[in-house]
Each structure stands twice: as structure tokens, then as C-alpha cells.
Amino acid sequence: MICTETSMRNRIEHPFGPLYSDHSKILILGSFPSVKSREQNFFYGHPQNRFWKVIASVFDEPVPVTIEEKKDLIISHDLALWDSIASCEITGSSDASIRNARPNDIGMILSSCSIEQIYCNGRKSHELFRKYIEPAVQREALCLPSTSPANAQWSLDRLTEAWSVISKAIK
């Protein structure tokens, strides 16, 4: 049997819920969890994804290692994490392969806390937010450069500088 991209693409449901508290002010949306994130059942699980390094640097904190440390970092800085997509057909972890996306309902987050700004981690998340979520919630999101290892043209320093808007937005 010859495997084609179509035959390798699987419909996958988002395996875990959002992370937020009643005092979250900034919502960060990824696109859809990577294979490693799905295995760990938590956000940004691929060791080469720079998300945790960037967030730690933005807030001048140590880089978290455990899931509990990651949760503490997000909650202690009034952040919330979720993804734009609830389910999709995807090959591996490739955002470019995403097809037939069904959006997440971010209304539960927006109604539970005072989200002042929404940021998307990369273009695919932003594209899906604008297509599916923005019309429903009547809120805009700003697109930040992706922390994915696939975004190799952005150094850690450049990412941190771009993402520093988050710390400025909640001061």
C-alpha cells in the first residue's frame, strides 16, 4: 500500500482543556497541539518549541520544566492558554496540513475572566481565529510570531522582544 498525505492525515480531537483563572487578562491561542503536546496532554510539549523559554524570559522567570511549573507561570502572570482549533484533520504536527478545522469555543474563558487582549501564537492560529472565532466573539486578536521550531528565521531573542508586548499589556 502506498501512503499518501491524505491517508496519513487523521481527524483528531483536542485532548485537553484550556488553562486560565478568574483573574486571567491575556489569552494566548495556539493553533492545535503538536504530537508531543498531545502525548504530554499539555501545551507546547515539543522540547524544541520555544514558547516556555519566551514566556519565562518575558516575565524574567526561570524556564519551567514540569507541567505544574508551567501552569504556575501562566496563572501567576494573569495569562490564559488555549488553542483556536477543537478538532481537525492533521498530519503529525504540521499546521500547514490542517484541514476541516472545527474551532474551540473561547466564550467560556471570555465569560469567566476579564480578558483584555487576545494574542495568537503564529499565523495559522491567527488565520483560524479570524475565520471561525472572531465573528462569534466580536473580538480581535493580535498575531505574534510562532514559537514553533519550524519558525527558524526568528531567533529566541527576536521572539522574546516581539512577545514582550504581553508583559506591557498587563501592567
- Domain 11-169 class, CATH top level: alpha beta
Selected residue with higher pLDDT from 65 and 93: 65
pLDDT over threshold 50, residue 151: yes
What digits encode the pLDDT tens for the residues 4-21? 344 456 789 999 999 999
Q: Which long-range contacts (CB under 8 A, 24 or more apart) does 110-113 make?
A: 110/27, 110/137, 110/139, 112/20, 112/22, 113/20, 113/21, 113/22, 113/23, 113/24, 113/25, 113/80
Average pLDDT over residues 29-57: 94
pLDDT at 155: 95
Percentage of the chain with pLDDT > 70?
Answer: 94
Query: What's residue 2's pLDDT?
Result: 39
